[in-house]
Amino acid sequence: MLNRINITSIITDHFSTLKSLNQKSNYINFKDVLLFIILPIFISIMLTYKGYGFDDQLGNLITATSIFGGFLFNLLAIIYSQIDSLKKDAEKEEDELKKIKEKFVKEIHINISFCIVLSIILVITLLMTTIEIPKFEFQWILKKIIIGVNYFLMILFMLTLLMVLNRVYILLKKE
């Protein structure tokens, strides 16, 4: 029953794309772990610790994330409709460039799907900041955790969008 909404394969497939092109191992590249996991965690902890909030811009953040999510759905449909022509275009290229383009077509699909999932989760967690929690002793810790998770997701969303943009640019670049 839950298989219809299971997103774990999208998430695991996305993190499997965080490898160098000539990397032989199946592990994520350390630089990508640093960029996509450790750096966002560090920045979100620092912003949360310093007390930076986004209450004033909450509506704008939800709107922007929703717009990007809709844009990504359209981009996914465009990429999906162009997969055959992109693969045919890649067949004309040299072997090395052909492999890169074929790999990018597959990985762009995975990365865009992950961005869409991330935008949905981000909108939900941003909305969680507006929920009035009954008073209890450690309420401030829960609020800090929610804010920290939101910062992490926003940074991860931005970095993944930049990665998608770069990959689409490389894929469609004509020399």
**Model pTM?**
0.88
The per-residue pLDDT for range 118-150, each reduced to its tens digit, is 999 999 999 999 888 888 888 889 899 999 999
The mean pLDDT value of the chain amounts to 87
The per-residue pLDDT for range 4-24, each reduced to its tens digit, is 889 999 999 999 888 766 666
Q: Where are the domains of the chain?
A: 57-175
The per-residue pLDDT for range 44-88, each reduced to its tens digit, is 999 999 999 898 999 999 999 999 999 999 988 888 877 777 666
Share of residues in the chain with pLDDT > 70 (%): 87
Q: Is 108 left (phi over 0), alpha (psi -120 to 50) or beta?
A: alpha
What is the structure's pLDDT at 23? 66
Token pair in block for residue 72: 């990504």
Q: Is 51 left (phi over 0), alpha (psi -120 to 50) or beta?
A: left
**For residue 167, what are the contacts with CB-CB under 8 A and spacing of at least 6?**
104, 107, 108, 111
Other beta carbons within 10 Å of 75: 17
19-36 burial, b at 16+ Cβ within 10 Å, e below that, comes to beeeeeeeebeeebeeeb
